[in-house]
Amino acid sequence: MSDDLPLSRRNLLRAGGLTVTGAALGLGSAQAQGQGLPGPSVPADTGAVQGGKVLFPNWRGAGDRVPPPPPAPMPPAQRVGFAVVGLGRLSLEEILPAFGETKRARLAAVMSGTPAKAKLVAEQYGVPADSVYGYDEWERLAQNPAVKAVYIVTPNGLHRDHVVAAAKAGKHVLCEKPMANSSAEAREMIEACAKANLKLMIAYRCQYEPFNREVTRLARSGEFGKPRLIQAFNGQTTGLPQQWRLHKTLSGGGALPDIGLYCLNGVRALTGEEPVSIEASLHSPPGDGKFAEVEETVSFTLRFPSGIIAQCMTSYGVHESRRLQLHTERADIDLRNAFAYRGQHLVVSRPDGAVESQDSRMLTPKNQFALEIDHMARCILEDRRPRTPGEEGLQDQVLMEAIYEAARSGRPVTVGPPTGRDGGLDVTRGPELDDAD
């Protein structure tokens, strides 16, 4: 290259690309890693293949965040095939589109009680016509080798029957929350999958979502001192009386199992502990026919072995708000839109000398449904126990029954760790998540 050739990006690429290494920049190995350099010799703009991934060096300066690596999806033929069971709002608005962002999973089949809807959805998502099923076709689904797992997205009151049917069909199960209508049903579901040597995971999407994971990390790290109090709120309005969530046989209850469960599971996941006592109260507007069978509002307080107190409220009668606040010795950690599908905003308030500092934690948002589906797929591919297995869902059913009992009796209810498990953290959960999740 002549000395007077313009040093342009085009000429660099034409010349074969610029290779950036720690040595070329005068950096040691540790310094190179700190700069986000992924390997010993990675071309700056063309990247390099390492470990089955395409990697690029961090081109940004010290004043910016290190960008995430490019996605590394598995080839479609190697991904875990899922059948989505139930094509209601959640499936059509969130779950089916999420398969477009998964890396280890693919949509292989659908099941619905409405044939015309199932046929249309299958066409929209490229599902073969012979992979469309009715709720009475579990035996035919069992013969489909492309389906390794099912995602149960039917009303709560149907979860038990559909999980048992899936286990009989030899398919791993990802089941929406709440797991069931009762702890007895949850135990049947766990037993059915265990007997068939199949994995059962409950879709607690917030435990896989980056902002919720960061709050948990901060709580357990002790970075801002010992956690003392937690406040969790999840509320929205409901207006259509015919909606299945307002009928107890299908829902198991009102605001508590539907949206209050996020508060309950959220504080359990945050602390890693199980509560030792529960106080609660219920309220429904007098004369409102929507709440003839289920409650509108629930307030409950959980006391944990470490001394942490969690105050939780949930309601079907207020403007939409979803918030998780952690109060520690030296900071207030506030996760806004905590339980929403998107839009999380994390603020840490703490003293900074003579002033109060507010630090907004900027994380890369990710599709929560894609994250949980991919985690289930990974567990199948690598024979891992899910982070949120059936036992996690069972414990929430047990605790919701205690909440209803505390509200009915007007007295605190003593609870403890799950039967047969000693104390400690995360006793109902599988291995901690890592960078691969």
pLDDT tens figures, 73-122: 999 999 999 999 999 999 999 999 999 999 999 999 999 999 999 999 99
Q: Which residue carries 């997205």 as its tokens?
A: 153
Mean pLDDT computed over 12-35: 45
Active-site annotation holds for 177: yes
What whole-number distance in Å separates Cα of residue 379 and Cα of residue 392?
Answer: 16
On average, the pLDDT of the chain sits at: 91
pLDDT above 70 for 256: yes
Helix (H) or strand (E) holding 211: helix 210-221
Say if residues 131 and 122 touch (Cβ distance below 8 Å). Answer: yes
Those residues whose C-beta lies under 8 Å from the C-beta of residue 334, and which sit 6 or more positions away, are 323, 324, 325, 326, 346, 347, 348, 349
- Tell how strand 172-175 and strand 149-152 pair up: parallel
Say if residues 210 and 363 touch (Cβ distance below 8 Å). Answer: yes
Residue in 133, 151, 208, 262 annotated catalytic: 262
Residue in 177, 208, 290, 316 annotated catalytic: 177
- Tell how strand 227-237 and strand 317-328 pair up: antiparallel
Q: Strand, helix or coil at 153? A: coil
Helix and strand numbers (H, E) in the chain are 14, 19
pLDDT above 90 for 232: yes
Q: Which of 14-28, 230-244, 370-384 has the lowest average pLDDT?
A: 14-28
Mean pLDDT computed over 377-399: 98
pLDDT above 80 for 374: yes
418 falls in which pLDDT band (50, 70, 90)?
confident
pLDDT above 90 for 15: no
Measured N-to-C along each axis, helices 390-409 and 261-271 cross at an angle, to the nearest 10 degrees, of 120
pLDDT above 80 for 31: no
What whole-number distance in Å separates Cα of residue 288 and Cα of residue 296?
Answer: 10
Query: Burial code of 174-191, b = ≥16 C-beta within 10 A, e = fewer?
Result: bbbbbbbbbbebbbbbbe
Helices (H), 383-417: 390-409
Q: Strand, helix or coil at 340? A: coil
Catalogue all structural domains in the chain, each as residue range(s) with its CATH number: 1-35 (no CATH), 76-203 (3.40.50.720), 206-364+390-414 (3.30.360.10)
pLDDT above 90 for 21: no
**What is the phi-psi region of residue 391: left when phi exceeds 0, alpha when psi lies from -120 to 50, beta otherwise?**
alpha
How much of the chain, in percent, has pLDDT values that exceed 90? 78
40 falls in which pLDDT band (50, 70, 90)?
low
38 falls in which pLDDT band (50, 70, 90)?
low
Residue 35's CB: how many other CB atoms inside 10 A?
18
Q: Which of 6-20, 190-204, 302-316 has the lowest average pLDDT?
A: 6-20
Higher-confidence residue of 34 and 172: namely 172
Closest CA to 206 of 267, 165, 146, 164: 267
Mean pLDDT computed over 56-80: 89
pLDDT above 80 for 347: yes
Report the pLDDT value the prediction gives residue 18, as an integer from 0 to 100: 52
Mean pLDDT computed over 222-234: 96
Active-site annotation holds for 133: no
pLDDT above 70 for 55: yes
What pTM value is reported for the model?
Answer: 0.89
Query: Burial code of 406-415, b = ≥16 C-beta within 10 A, e = fewer?
Result: bbeeeeebeb
The rounded Cα 256 to chain-centroid distance in angstroms is 18
3 falls in which pLDDT band (50, 70, 90)?
very low
pLDDT above 50 for 135: yes
Report the pLDDT value the prediction gives residue 20, as an integer from 0 to 100: 52
Those residues whose C-beta lies under 8 Å from the C-beta of residue 34, and which sit 6 or more positions away, are none
pLDDT tens figures, 137-148: 999 999 999 999
Higher-confidence residue of 243 and 132: namely 132
Exposed/middle/buried for residue 349 (C-beta within 10 Å: 0-12, 13-18, 19+): middle
Helix (H) or strand (E) holding 229: strand 227-237
pLDDT above 90 for 4: no
Those residues whose C-beta lies under 8 Å from the C-beta of residue 380, and which sit 6 or more positions away, are 80, 148, 149, 172, 199
Higher-confidence residue of 251 and 31: namely 251
Report the pLDDT value the prediction gives residue 393, as an integer from 0 to 100: 98
